[in-house]
Amino acid sequence: MKNIIMLIAVLMSVVFMQWNAEAIETEDKGAVKSIVLPVIEVDLKEGAGKDKADEFCNICHSADYITMQPRFPTDAWSAIVHKMIVVYGAPVNEDDSRTIINYLSSNYGTGK
């Protein structure tokens, strides 16, 4: 009985692999696929530096990433902004990064 179950399992595996290989071969390899992402509109709080935060932060992610964060102290916002620049390659110069950090600290921070 064990051998029969094993034989059925092997045969099913072979049939599945053959079916899967045929499906892959018949797939249109030159087709361009696309998706439409929903537009997420988030208005950041008004304040000095909002324009820079909108301009640079929205390059990589929605502004809702900012609004859903806990209220971090300034040094934490500074570390986050610098991580975005150094690790993720955000094209933000030093002056703009200070403006963004000050904006985030003032509007989404602890005030410390």
Could you tell me which of 83, 91, 79, 82 has the C-alpha nearest to residue 52? 91
% of the chain with per-residue pLDDT over 70? 88
Enumerate the domain spans of the chain: 50-108
Cα–Cα distance, 74 to 2 (Å, whole number) = 66
- Contact call for residues 67 and 107 (beta carbons, < 8 A): no
Whether the predicted pLDDT of 26 surpasses 60: no
The structure's pTM equals 0.65
Identify the band that residue 23 occupies on the pLDDT scale cut at 50, 70 and 90: low
User: pLDDT tens, 37-88?
Assistant: 787 788 899 999 999 999 999 999 989 999 999 999 999 999 999 999 999 9
Cα gap 69→72, rounded to integer Å: 8
Residues 6+ apart with CB under 8 A from 102: 48, 49
Q: Which residues contact 106 (CB under 8 A, 6 or more apart)?
A: 47, 48, 49
Closest to 42 measured CA to CA, from 68, 70, 22, 74 = 68
Tell me which of 1.10.760.10, 3.20.20.120, 3.40.50.720, 1.10.630.10 is the CATH number of domain 50-108: 1.10.760.10
- Token look-up 């600290």 returns 105
Question: Residue 105: is its pLDDT beyond 80?
Answer: yes
What pLDDT does 22 receive?
60
